[in-house]
């Protein structure tokens, strides 16, 4: 629709050849959807919570390049996030995926948080079983 094939081609060029496939640096993937609710402004794309509309191949390329660079170079606001969790009364966090780096960081910065690491089928099943028994 309205030039969307060119947008998909740029995603294939800069992110991955196939939808749902992680980029080479494992930071992102893409997928094509029928509608983002603003057909009059098509083609458009969503990156996280940001929407970009009235795209052409040049705008799309610039947006994707900038977002990929920002993913790698932008500061991680870990301390602010942990402080906000405390402020909001969050009492537990769950890390899903390989490793437990974030869980260990949370242990140092917010020792009162209950922490869960789900990095295998077994750990997920145990977590669900524990939550069901509460």
Q: How many residues does the chain have?
A: 134
Angle between helices 57-73 and 4-14 (to 10 degrees): 30
What is residue 104's predicted lDDT score, i.e. its pLDDT? 83
pLDDT at 111 over 80: yes
41: CB partners within 8 A, 6+ apart:
53, 54
Identify the CA nearest to 1 among candidates 27, 25, 35.
35
pLDDT average, residue stretch 89-110: 84
pLDDT average, residue stretch 3-22: 88
Q: What is the pTM of this model?
A: 0.52
pLDDT at 74 over 70: yes
Q: Do 52 and 93 form a contact (C-beta atoms < 8 A)? A: no
pLDDT at 79 over 90: no
Portion of the chain with pLDDT greater than 90, in percent: 10
Return mean pLDDT, the chain: 84
Nearest-5° angle of CA 64, CA 66, CA 10?
A: 20
Q: Do 53 and 3 form a contact (C-beta atoms < 8 A)? A: no
98: CB partners within 8 A, 6+ apart:
119
Confidence of residue 1 (pLDDT cuts 50, 70, 90): low
pLDDT digits (tens, 9 = 90+) for 13-66: 988 999 988 888 777 888 888 777 777 778 888 887 788 888 888 999 999 888
pLDDT at 78 over 70: yes
């Amino acid at each position: 629709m309205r030039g969307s094939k060119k947008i998909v081609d740029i995603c294939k060029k800069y992110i991955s050849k196939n939808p749902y496939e992680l980029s080479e640096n494992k930071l992102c993937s893409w997928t094509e959807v029928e509608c983002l609710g603003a057909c009059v402004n098509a083609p458009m794309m969503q990156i996280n919570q940001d929407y970009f509309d009235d795209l052409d191949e040049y705008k799309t390329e610039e947006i994707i390049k900038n977002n990929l660079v920002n993913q790698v170079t932008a500061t991680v606001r870990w301390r602010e996030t942990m402080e906000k969790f405390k402020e909001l009364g969050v009492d537990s966090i769950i890390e899903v995926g390989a490793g437990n780096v974030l869980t260990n960081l949370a242990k140092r910065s917010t020792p009162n948080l209950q922490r869960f690491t789900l990095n295998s089928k077994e750990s997920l099943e145990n977590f669900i079983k524990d939550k069901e028994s509460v």
